Amino acid sequence: MTPDRCDFWMWDGRTELEGRLTRLDGPVFLARLRAVRKPERTLGQRLSPAPLELLRAYARRRWLAHVAGPDNLPLVEASFDSIQPASDGEFEIVAAGRIVALPEEERELLRKMPVEAVAALMQRRVS
């Protein structure tokens, strides 16, 4: 699968993920995701973190997300409920979570803000 075939994009101000939705049922989603820009690995660094480490790393973050394709949702906010390593090598994680529509006023404000300001805002938005 090539990146242009991905239909789900997420960003939290630090990390950008892309992937494929496997299920979208109302606010609940299941997706296979990978980092858009992988950090360089250092000697001794594990390649795939344990599910608990993944959950700690991503669970408290709030993500701006976009669903392309037939579901083509406007910009939404996403959060993870569960995360585990993917087993196929094409994607890094399989994640389940929820999406919430952003009000039009907030989407309009985000469009006008510089990327750095949006990144700072997203990094402050924790549950």
Is 97 contained in some domain? Answer: yes
Structure confidence by residue, pLDDT tens digits, 38-56: 555 554 444 456 667 777 7
pLDDT in tens, 77-95: 999 998 888 887 789 889 9
3-state secondary structure of 89: coil
Which residue do the tokens 């049922």 mark? 25
Structural domain includes residue 43:
no
pLDDT tens, residue by residue, 62-81:
899 988 866 566 788 999 99
Residue 76 domain-assigned (yes or no): yes
In a domain, 41, yes or no: no
**How far is Cα 63 from Cα 98, in angstroms, rounded to an integer?**
10
Please report whether residue 56 resides in a domain.
yes
Q: What is the pTM of this model?
A: 0.75
Range name among 2-11, 22-31, 82-91, 96-105 with the lowest pLDDT average: 2-11
pLDDT > 90 fraction of the chain, expressed in percent and rounded: 25
Residue 55 lies in a domain: yes
How many separate domains does the chain show? 1
Structural domain span for residue 119: 3-35+49-124
